Chains A and B, each alone.
Chain A
Amino acid sequence: MIVLEKRPQPSKAWSYATPLVAVVATMIFGGVLFAILGKNPIEAIGTIFWEPLFGEFAFYYRPQLLVKGAPLVLIAIGLSLGFRAGIWNIGAEGQYIMGAIFGAGAGLAFYPLEAWYIFPIMVIAGAFGGWLWAMIPAFLKVRFGTNEILVSLMLVYVAEQMLASVSLGLLKNPEGFGFPGSRNLQSYDSAHNAELIAGSGMHWGVVTALIAVIFAYILLNRHMLGFHIRLTGEAPRAAKFAGVNPARLILFCLGLSGALAGLAGMFEVSGPSGVVSIDFNVGYGFTAIIVAFLGRLHPVGILLAGGLMALTYIGGEIAQSQLGLPAAAIQVFQGMLLFFLLAFDLLTNYRIRAARSEVA
């Protein structure tokens, strides 16, 4: 018989080891899956993890890792603060969309004027859009005690409808032959979130993501507010005694995560994507939830987790086209990663013991 025994203290060693063990387990079981599909597992795993970083065309893929990882990290950092305090913003996808709409809208309002101040205005507008969208569940929770998980999630679908609406109407490219979608911001210099060094993949969104990581780290470790966030999550009763104002914390955590998600959307629409279109959002807001947990809700962990997720996306695409792996197999592979992480997470709080079966 095997029994689980709760640890008196969560194991520090396991909490650091879990992500690594999960990655290794994913590689092993993913390899088995690929082998069953008739592919060479070592080649497949190698393609996914090695090719984007050190392969023949790494000069192209490495910058792409930044492009793909930055929005994930930026959103996940915001989410992690709330998650730590037990405030569950599940609607980052919607805030991401609103950030993009506000940011792009602010930029296009100036078209075709070229001026230095347009891009900063777009940044502010993008953050504001995301913040505003997150304030709806925040306000409803503070005022009426609604569940922020449901409200923020439902608002994703509202945001998707808004996205469709502006793509077809307000922001539609007047020179687009009636097709939906805005003007391409990539060809509007003042509004273009271009690479800072051509070919590096380093655009303002990547820079902002890195700054967010640093600030989140400082906030959590050196600032009273960060202490309150951690305290509320770990010991809500103690937090009350420490004088934490729960309403203020809800507004702060949801507002900040919304603003960061909005920024991510704004940097995406003005840079890699270029256009507000009906299909603009591709699930960064949801994937960021995985990234936040994969990174243990720790800023540095999230940075690494964002990189890892980006790697599986890009490596997965290469494996698809070079080895003919089906897209679904790659998705299963990504799902395994989260599954194993959660499974091994058990070991942080519990220890496995072989117990003698007792005589009845």
Chain B
Amino acid sequence: MKFTSLLTSAAIALGLATGAVAQDKTKVGFVYVGPIGDGGWTYEHNKGRLAVEEHFGDKVETVFVESVPEGPDAERVMTQMALDGADLIFTTSFGYMDPTINVAKKFPDVKFEHATGYKTAPNVSVYSARFYEGRAVQGHIAGNMTESNIIGYIGSYPIPEVIRGINSAYIHAKKVNPDVEFKIVWAYTWFDPAKEADAATVLIEQGADVILQHTDSTAPQAAAQEAGNVVTFGQASDMSEYAPFPRVSSIIDDWAPYYIARTQAVMDGTWETANTWDGIREGMVAIGEISDAVPANVKEEALALKAAMAAGEYHPFTGPLKKQDGSDWLAEGEVADDGTLAGMNFYVEGLEGDIPQ
């Protein structure tokens, strides 16, 4: 969509106006893909927003719109926030990438932060967390906990971020349990409790006694609880209401420090385009409490694994590793580079099935 000079000039005029009116208040907008009560992904982003409010108090005003479909609707919501005088806008889903870039072009004075994407611009940064580090710990526990040796995995979309998670979980489950097998179901949604519950049920019926999920709702946890003897992990958020069983641990995204730092940068005028990819070490990825349902020695090993990653001593993708087709990927002791990880579109050796494409 092209815009008139009318809109641009109005936007610039507005930029000047808000600059004059709201000098003391920085306005930060958040665009969410799910409802803030999803208990997972969006819930954690909203916690980050609340942390920004708490940290800066009167100096900041935050606004948000939830359940925004990825596409033209997202573009309109972002434009609306920018028109309303937002100084900084966090767009928190992969599918907001092109809309973010489009809107950012029209509002050069507004800073944009896009989660999990790869397109940057002078006023667009991207940020993501190294969720795969959490997946390593998860895989370690899952491999130990499974008795049927079948681990079910609810994938959202077959994009690199999700495939990385599957690979990392598989590698570490396989390490402790060579007989382990992964069954992967693609839900093609980030948040759809009904679909997620269906996927979990299907996996349980196929014999999976551990369910890993890359979707945002707690529906798989509920499905596992109903089944009775199925282990799950909190995704994106702690999901502790399902602890100590079926939820035995979780991967928690902690966006608060990043959001506070970026808001501060806008206030100080030091904001610059960045490509942030933080993990356990920086605290963007946290491991939720490992419950007593996990044997003590497994818990200990899992915590040691986490500590090794936090200290930078261990990388989840360390050779020797082969690709699914049997070709060599990483040699003994070699560590995957970020470029390969960012665009990962292959399974590692041992995983069955094809990545949909």
Residues of A within 8 A of B (CB): 57, 59-61, 64, 67-68, 160, 164-165, 168-169, 172, 177-180, 184, 186, 194-195, 198-199, 268, 271-275, 277-280, 282, 313-314, 317-318, 320-322, 324, 326-328
Contact = CB atoms under 8 A, between A and B. Distances in A.
Contact of A282 (B2, B69, B98): B69
B4 A198 contact: yes
B98 A275 contact: yes
B242 interface: no
Contacts of A180: 157-159
A59 B10 CA distance: 10
A278 B71 contact: no
Contacts of A326: 35-36, 66
B345 A178 contact: yes
Interface in B59-81: 63-73, 75-77, 79-81
6 contacts: A59-B6, A169-B356, A178-B345, A198-B2, A275-B98, A321-B77
B70 A314 contact: no
In this complex, the interface size class of chain B, counting residues with CB under 8 Å from chain A, is 35 or more
Contact of A279 (B66, B70, B186): B70
A324 B66 CA distance: 10
Contacts of A164: 186, 188, 356
Contacts of B98: 184, 274-275
A199 B2 CA distance: 7
Interface in B1-17: 1-4, 6-7, 10
Contacts of B10: 57, 59
A328 B35 contact: yes
Given A165-B356, A168-B356, A317 B76 contact: yes
B217 to A, nearest CB: 15
Interface in B65-103: 65-73, 75-77, 79-81, 83-84, 94-95, 98
B4 A199 contact: yes
A279 B76 contact: no
B95 A321 contact: no
A271 B343 contact: no
A277 B188 contact: no
Contact of A277 (B71, B344, B345): B71
Contact of B7 (A60, A169, A277, A282): A60
B327 interface: no
Given A168-B158, A282-B71, A277 B95 contact: yes
B157 A186 contact: no
Contact of B63 (A61, A314, A324): A324
A178 to B, nearest CB: 4
B160 interface: yes
Contact of B81 (A168, A186, A321): A321
Of listed B10, B94, B357, residue having the most chain A CB within 10 A: B357
A288 to B, nearest CB: 16
Given A179-B159, A277-B95, A195 B70 contact: no
A321 B64 contact: yes
Contacts of A160: 188
A199 B63 contact: no
A127 to B, nearest CB: 21
Nearest to A320: B65
Contacts of A199: 2-4, 6-7
Contact of A327 (B1, B7, B65, B345): B65
A341 B15 CA distance: 42
A271 B1 contact: yes
Nearest to B31: A321
Given A277-B70, A279-B71, A280-B71, A321 B1 contact: no
B29 interface: yes
Contacts of A271: 1
Nearest to B355: A168
Interface in B337-351: 342-345
Given A195-B2, A277-B71, 15 more contacts: A68-B76, A160-B188, A178-B343, A179-B160, A199-B6, A272-B71, A272-B72, A279-B69, A282-B71, A320-B64, A321-B29, A321-B80, A327-B35, A327-B66, A327-B67
Interface in B170-194: 186, 188
A178 B1 contact: no
B76 A278 contact: no
A279 B72 contact: no
A168 B72 contact: no
User: Top 3 A-B pairs ranked by shortest CB distance?
Assistant: A199-B4, A272-B72, A178-B345
B118 interface: yes
A328 B225 CA distance: 27
B321 to A, nearest CB: 19
A313 B68 CA distance: 11
A165 B354 CA distance: 13
A88 B186 CA distance: 31
